[in-house]
Structure formats: structure tokens, C-alpha cells
Chain A
Amino acid sequence: MTDNPSDRRNRARAGETPSLEELRGIAARKSAQHGNDIDLNMPEAWLNQYSLSPMFYTSKAYFIFTLALSSVVAWGVACWFYQIYNGMGVTGLRPPIFWGLYIATFVFWVGLSHSGTIVSSLLRLTKANWRRPVLRGAEAMTAFSLMVAGIFPMIHVGRVWRLYYMFPLPNQRSLWPNYRSPLAWDMMAISVYLTASMIFLYTGLLPDIALARDLCPKGNWRKGYLTVLSLGWRGTHRQWHVYEKASTFLAVFVLLIAPSVHTIVSWDFAMSITPGWHTPLFGPYFVVGAIYSGVAGVITLMIILRYVFGLDQIIRIMHLYNLAKLELVMGVIWAYFYFVEFMTAWYAHNPVEFRIWEYEWERFPHLMIIMLGGTAVAIFLLSFHKVRTSPAWLLGITILINIGMYIERYLIVVPVLTHRDNAYTWTDYTPSFIEISVAAAAIAYFLLLYAVFSKLLPVVTVADIREGKIISGDVRIGNRELRVYADVEETL
């Protein structure tokens, strides 16, 4: 007797009850498809070795990969220096187009940073037990994305040595930053977010750094900095107690900071009285787009970590499956926001905004198709269970989503400036080779930061995984063995 879904439905309609063997078979298959949670019988020594192996074992391919990334970064830095020496004329920026690829890239990386801490904080606060292997990767992604994003305003301003005009320091004319400008808010918000994200990442790392310190072979060059960074952590009951309190508080604070940052980034645009930008929808639209892009980034990174470092026993299909469901929801919400924005401009027939839409389709039809088609394809494919449980499919879809989101940032910035109110100022903008090189180097820089991080500090949250093992167990309910987690009350 077959037991495919349609047969089962027909037999259920006919009032037939599936046999015990059939139910066991279905449960086993589902379990295999999702990938069970982490094996509770995994030996402790093996868990340590397995989790810390990315730090201590380096292949030749790693060196080749980091060398290639370093070369791209070096090329990007050289291009930036060329731009500093020769001036902004080497970019494609011409009046009235003062914002181009650099600003689009800045918005993209700020957006990508969002999901890391939001996902991590939300999962911590809601005590979602599947969160544990995902946390470190997500938090590190936030910190590194922001480190990349933070460089772009410096590159964009041209005269980077005058960056201190943005700091609360009196400049040559004893002037301070103008806090009525959204750019000053942006500077403050991103600095605060970067500080909070680094602290959040470091706090989570603290017990794992101590673990790496203890397990680091004698004479290994890592021992020194691991000892310093671990701050003498021993894992006393008091330390864990304070640590858990602090983690919860930090999760709440970071969760409050993250949406405000991308809202402020959106206000860089929306606070100007420029058609196409001046809309109250921009704040939430940016935040949703950031989470959509960020969750895709987390999934991509998890799959890469899983394969590059062979962490398939820790980052299970179940974790990717759950993140993919979250991504599907965010995709639908983002599409809804995009539709609302389009609908109001189209039905009201605002001539300026409508012209921008027309221009986007005339000038960038290929980009529009990749962006909208990519999201439509992603939402369609993520609706299938088989796709959500396939790392190969997920890798392809999440990369496609982020290409689409990069394009979306570009299409927010450029068409509005090239086609502003006065038709006689309409012009075109094409990023120069220098701009493209710097933007490409940013991707390499992000990957390089991650690659270096993986060799210096634990990329897996070992303490969190262990905590999960402590408070969970496999229990037999009827004929099934199920994983249950104790609901441990927090003492704050």
C-alpha cells in the first residue's frame, strides 16, 4: 500500500485509519526532511571539538579564499585613494545627481545588518529553542554589515579628512553639527547601533571565548588574546545569573534600537520634499525591507558556514527551515508595502511620481524585472516545503533576494534624483568603474571580516547549545519520541 498524501487523503475520506507502521514511516520521513534538532546524545568532548573546529583547523582553500578577498579589498581601497586624490569627478556623480551607488550601497548594508540582531533578540526573548545555533552567525552579520556600511558615508563625502564635521567637535568656524539635519541623526543612530551590536555580540561570545581559552592547545598563538578577552570568566552560578539578566536586557534594548536606525536612514530621503521620497510609508517600508534582506543574509551565511566548516550536525535543516518560513512571511509583507506605494502613486496619478515609475521601467527594465521577479519567484518557491528544506534551493533564493534588494536600494536613490520636478534638469547617472570597484570591494570586505572572525573566535554559540541540551530531553509519548524543552522561569 502506498502512502503518498493523495492516497492518504482518499483513505481518510473513506474512513480508513492509517496503520501504526504507516504513521511511524511518515514521522520518520518528516523527521529526516526537517533534520532533527541537535543530537542530545552527542558526546560533550565531540561537541567542543566540533564547534571549535572552524577556529583551530584551517585548510589550504581558506588561505586561497582570504587571499582572493584581500586582493579585491586592496583594489577597492586603491580605487578609493584614487578618488580622494583626483576628486569626486572620477565618479559618475554630476549635478543634480549627488547621491548614487555609494548611498545605495550604504543603505543596502545598513539594511542587511538589521535582521541579525532583530532575529537574535526576538528568538531569545520568545525563548524559541531552535534559535541556539543561529545566534552567533546572525549577530556577527549585524556587526560586520555595519562596519561595511559605516565606511560608505566617508567614501561618499569625498573629503574624508573633514569627516569630523559630523562629530560634536567645534570645526574651524567653531560650528557644531546641525542636529536638525537627518544626516546628523543618521550618524548618531548608526554609531549607537554599531556600539550596541558589538556589545551584544561580545556578551554572547564571553562564555564561548572562555571555553576556547581552556581548550586552546598549549603554545597556540590564540591563547593570549582569548585569555584577555575572556576577562577571567569561569562560569560560576553568579556569573551565569548576571549574564542571563544582561542578555535579556540587551536583547530588549537592541530590539528597540534596530527599527529606529533604519527608520532614520529612510528619513535621509523622506524628510526632503522630493517627490518619490517624501512619503510617511518610507520608515516602515525600509524596516520591513531590511528584515527581509537580513533574514535572507542570515540563511545564506548559515548555509555557507554549514558547508564550509562542516557544521551540518549543529546547523540542522530544521534551523534553515524555520528561518525560511520567517523569510516567506517577510517577503509577503515587503511585497505588500511595495504594492501600496505603487498603488497610491498610480491611482492618484501624481505626475511627478508617475514619471519616476515610467522612467524606472524605461531606463532599468532589466533591474525592475530582477527585483520584482526575484521577489515573486522567492515568495512562490518558499511556499513549498521541499524548497524550504533544501539548502541548495535556499542558497539560490536568498542570494537572489539580496540581489533584488540591492537593486531596490539603487532604484530608490537614483531615478528620483535624475527625474526631479523640473524637466530641464533631467539627466542620467551611470556609476563609474571606481564606484563599482568600491561597491564590489565592500562585499569582499564583509566576507573577509567573517572569514577572519571564524579563525579568531567561535562561530557557534556552544554555551547556548549546551544550555539547550541541559533543559531538553527526548520523551516517549505513545509511539513517538519527541523533543521537549523545560520552560525555565527567568529570575530577573
Chain B
Amino acid sequence: MSITVLGLFDKIEEPAAMVKPLEDISIHEKDMALISVAPYPDGTVFYDEDHSPLWAIAIICGIIGFIAACGLAGWTQWHINLNVGGKPTLSIPPVVIIAYEFTLAGAVLGTFFGMIYYAQLPDWNDLAYDQEISRSKIGVLVRCEDEATAVKIEEIMRAHNVVTIKRGRDDF
């Protein structure tokens, strides 16, 4: 079972300088995570290798919305066959309007639920975290496999002015 070490820092420069020493003890970037109260530009500490296909989910859900709208506004017109105001049984402009709205509704819902999924939410488990992060401390999570490495990680953190060190569980 892996061990997760959480270090809290005052300034972003400290975890940024810590990446190289951690790599030197064979900790890969994918085993590190930054936790902050506001987003730091990618690469400030390390690059995010995640390329979640949110756009694909948005497009797929948009297509589902489009098909649903065609079914709702098109098929029902055809099925009920109610002629009003001299319009044809299947009038295309209403289908286009409803399809436009539903396509975008699908894309919005897809984006939102995609975000929830890829951000690994909701997760109310007691994962490695400290409320001091909300007071602008910068958290660095480092995952390792054994106690000896965890001790080395803590030493590196101390060498980089860590304020608090905690152990915890994580699933990043």
C-alpha cells in the first residue's frame, strides 16, 4: 500500500525547487500533486500529464441532445399529424430551433458531468488535505511505496522550508 506525504509551504518557489531533488530519489512527476486555493499556471511546479477528453464528452452529449430534439420536435409532429396555420405536417424550422437548444444543453451537461468525473468528484473520503491550504498555504502531495522513501521525502521537504508535514491517503 502506498504512502502519501503532504507538505505545506508558504511560497510556490519552494515546492518548485523541490521537484529536482525528489526526482533524484526516483519520485516521478506523476507521483506528485500540487494543492492550492487558486490555480497556478501549468508548469509552475510541474506539468499536468492529464489530457482528459472533455471536448469529446461535450461533443458526444451535444449529439445526443441533437438526436433527442429531432425525436421530440420532429417525430412528435409527424406522429400527431396536426395541421395548424397551413404549416406542413413536419415543419423543419421548429426542429432546427429545438435541436439548437438541445444540442447546447447536451454539451453543457456533458461538460459539467465530464468535469465532475475527471476532477474525481464527488469524493468526501478523508483524503490527504489540510484546511491551511484555504489560507493560501501551498500543499504538495508526494506518493511513495515504502517508509524509507517517505522519510527521504520528508527530509527533502524540510530542506525546502516546509511548514507542516502530514501523512495521509490519496488516490490521485
User: Could you tell me which A residues sit within 8 Å of B by CB distance?
Assistant: 44-45, 48, 168, 175-181, 184-185, 188-189, 192, 195-196, 199-200, 203, 207, 210-211, 214-215, 227, 231-246, 249-250, 253-254, 256-257, 260, 264, 463-464, 466-467, 469-471, 486, 488, 491-492
Q: Is the CB of B94 within 8 A of A185?
A: yes
Chain B hits for A243, CB < 8 A: 39, 115, 119
Q: Say yes or no: is B159 at the interface (Cβ < 8 Å to chain A).
A: no
Chain B hits for A231, CB < 8 A: 116, 121-124
Q: Is the CB of B97 within 8 A of A264?
A: yes
| 28 intermolecular pairs with C-beta atoms under 8 Å apart | A45-B135, A168-B72, A179-B73, A180-B94, A188-B98, A199-B108, A200-B108, A231-B124, A232-B121, A232-B122, A232-B123, A233-B121, A235-B35, A235-B36, A236-B33, A240-B36, A240-B40, A242-B52, A245-B52, A246-B112, A250-B108, A253-B107, A254-B108, A463-B37, A463-B39, A466-B38, A467-B39, A470-B40
The distance in angstroms between the C-alpha atoms of A464 and B120, with both chains bound, is: 21
Q: Say yes or no: is B142 at the interface (Cβ < 8 Å to chain A).
A: no
The distance in angstroms between the C-alpha atoms of A177 and B82, with both chains bound, is: 11
Q: Is the CB of B91 within 8 A of A210?
A: no
Q: Could you count the A-B residue pairs with CB atoms below 8 Å apart for me: how many are there? A: 183
Chain A hits for B133, CB < 8 A: 214, 234-235
CB-nearest residue of chain B to A177: B76
Residue of B58, B84, B97, B109 most packed against chain A (CB within 10 A): B97
Residue of B37, B42, B102, B135 most packed against chain A (CB within 10 A): B37
Whole-angstrom distance between the Cβ of B127 and the nearest chain A Cβ: 7
CB-nearest residue of chain B to A196: B108
The distance in angstroms between the C-alpha atoms of A188 and B38, with both chains bound, is: 36
The 9 A-B pairs with the shortest beta carbon distances in the complex, nearest first, are A466-B38, A246-B115, A214-B134, A231-B122, A44-B136, A240-B39, A232-B123, A179-B73, A214-B131
B101 is contacted by which of A199, A257, A470 (Cβ under 8 Å)?
A: A257
Interface string of B83-126 (1 = CB under 8 A from A): 01101000100110110111011011101101110111111110
Q: Is the CB of A242 within 8 A of B119?
A: yes
Tell whether A246 pairs with B111 under 8 Å between CB atoms, given A175-B80, A180-B85: yes
Whole-angstrom distance between the Cβ of A131 and the nearest chain B Cβ: 15
Chain B hits for A464, CB < 8 A: 38
CB-nearest residue of chain B to A260: B100
A486 is contacted by which of B41, B122, B125, B131 (Cβ under 8 Å)?
A: B41
B129 is contacted by which of A184, A188, A234 (Cβ under 8 Å)?
A: A234
Known: A241-B50, A246-B54, A254-B108. 4 other contacts (CB 8 A): A235-B35, A237-B33, A238-B48, A242-B115
8 A Cβ contacts from B156-172 to A: 172
Chain A hits for B127, CB < 8 A: 232, 234
Whole-angstrom distance between the Cβ of B105 and the nearest chain A Cβ: 4
Tell whether A467 pairs with B38 under 8 Å between CB atoms, given A231-B116, A239-B120: yes
Q: Say yes or no: is B5 at the interface (Cβ < 8 Å to chain A).
A: no
A471 is contacted by which of B41, B102, B122, B134 (Cβ under 8 Å)?
A: B41
Chain B hits for A207, CB < 8 A: 37-38
The distance in angstroms between the C-alpha atoms of A295 and B40, with both chains bound, is: 31
Whole-angstrom distance between the Cβ of B26 and the nearest chain A Cβ: 21
Q: Is the CB of B115 within 8 A of A245?
A: yes
B33 is contacted by which of A211, A238, A245, A486 (Cβ under 8 Å)?
A: A238
Chain A hits for B38, CB < 8 A: 207, 235, 463-464, 466-467, 469-470
Whole-angstrom distance between the Cβ of A477 and the nearest chain B Cβ: 23
B104 is contacted by which of A175, A203, A257, A471 (Cβ under 8 Å)?
A: A257
Chain A hits for B8, CB < 8 A: none
Chain B hits for A240, CB < 8 A: 36, 39-40
B95 is contacted by which of A176, A179, A245 (Cβ under 8 Å)?
A: A179
The distance in angstroms between the C-alpha atoms of A1 and B37, with both chains bound, is: 50
Q: Is the CB of B118 within 8 A of A242?
A: yes
Chain A hits for B37, CB < 8 A: 207, 211, 235, 463, 466
Q: Is the CB of A241 within 8 A of B42?
A: yes
The distance in angstroms between the C-alpha atoms of A241 and B36, with both chains bound, is: 12
Whole-angstrom distance between the Cβ of B84 and the nearest chain A Cβ: 6
CB-nearest residue of chain A to B118: A242
Chain B hits for A250, CB < 8 A: 108, 111-112
The distance in angstroms between the C-alpha atoms of A464 and B39, with both chains bound, is: 9
The distance in angstroms between the C-alpha atoms of A41 and B105, with both chains bound, is: 42
Q: Is the CB of B104 within 8 A of A192?
A: yes
Tell whether A237 pairs with B34 under 8 Å between CB atoms, given A179-B76, A192-B102, A260-B101: yes
Residue of B36, B84, B94 most packed against chain A (CB within 10 A): B36
Chain A hits for B41, CB < 8 A: 470-471, 486, 488
Q: Is the CB of B76 within 8 A of A168?
A: yes
The distance in angstroms between the C-alpha atoms of A243 and B112, with both chains bound, is: 9
CB-nearest residue of chain A to B42: A491
Chain B hits for A227, CB < 8 A: 124
The distance in angstroms between the C-alpha atoms of A324 and B50, with both chains bound, is: 41
Q: Say yes or no: is B77 at the interface (Cβ < 8 Å to chain A).
A: yes
Whole-angstrom distance between the Cβ of A262 and the nearest chain B Cβ: 13
Whole-angstrom distance between the Cβ of B132 and the nearest chain A Cβ: 9
